[in-house]
Amino acid sequence: MKKSIASTASKKVKQNRTREQLEQDILTAAKRLFANRGFGGVSLDHVAREVGVSKQNLLYYFPSKEELYRRVLHGVLDVWLSYMDALSQRADDPEQALREYIAGKLRFSREHPDDSRVYAKEVISGAPIFFAEIAARVIPALEADVAIFNKWAEQGLCRPVDAKHLMIVLWAVTQAYADWASQIRLVLEKPALDAQDFQAAESLIVDMVLRTVLFADAAEAAPRKRAGRVARGA
């Protein structure tokens, strides 16, 4: 009797794992298709064929294409935002925070190109399906980063900058290595981007940003630091 119960439990675990794996396979295939074709260019039949299941089986997991697309985008946004916390992690060190932020965003483009392209296609089309979710999650994250830049400037740790536009530029230049990878490969005359390409991009972007944000020398920084001390003492 005990053996029968154990066997039944084992089968249930195996079935649950199979269902979880199939659901993940569906999400992965859908993400790849949405990244290449956009929402309008993908059907549930396409996804089912890609995964190797019947459409009816797919509908058991995701009753509609929009629900599947939303699940994909939720996952994409989770990953995208996870690479955006470097500034808060290093809020007392602007140079290191910016270095780690840029490195993280380029790593996202290299390791998750489909995620980046799905997000880009949704936003470029005006975010007709995921606007509310993007606004609810991305804008607060951006505002938190802007507050960090403002605090640095007040403390005399960096130049005053338009932090929102700086962040927009950083998103664009780092995610280009995923969203526009085919163009970059074309102009570099390479079949694929490699680690050296991402390292070269990181070095250049870091240099440009640090030259823009940080003070050139102690003499330039001194007046801002004095002003910051006065403001804090007032």
What single string gives the DSSP state of each residue in 2-53? HHHHHHHHHHHHHHHHHHHHHHHHHHHHHHHHHHHH-GGG--HHHHHHHHTS
Ordered by where they begin, the domains of the chain are 2-63 (1.10.10.60), 73-233 (1.10.357.10)
Q: How confident is the model at residue 10 (pLDDT cuts 50, 70, 90)?
A: very low
What does the mean pLDDT of the chain come to?
Answer: 89
* pTM as predicted: 0.84
Question: Per-residue pLDDT tens for 144-179?
Answer: 999 999 999 999 999 999 999 999 999 999 999 999
CA angle 70, 71, 74 (to 5 degrees): 85
Among the listed ranges 60-69, 85-94, 140-149, 170-179, which one has the minimum average pLDDT value? 85-94
Q: How confident is the model at residue 225 (pLDDT cuts 50, 70, 90)?
A: low
| Measured distance CA(123)–CA(9) in Å, rounded | 45
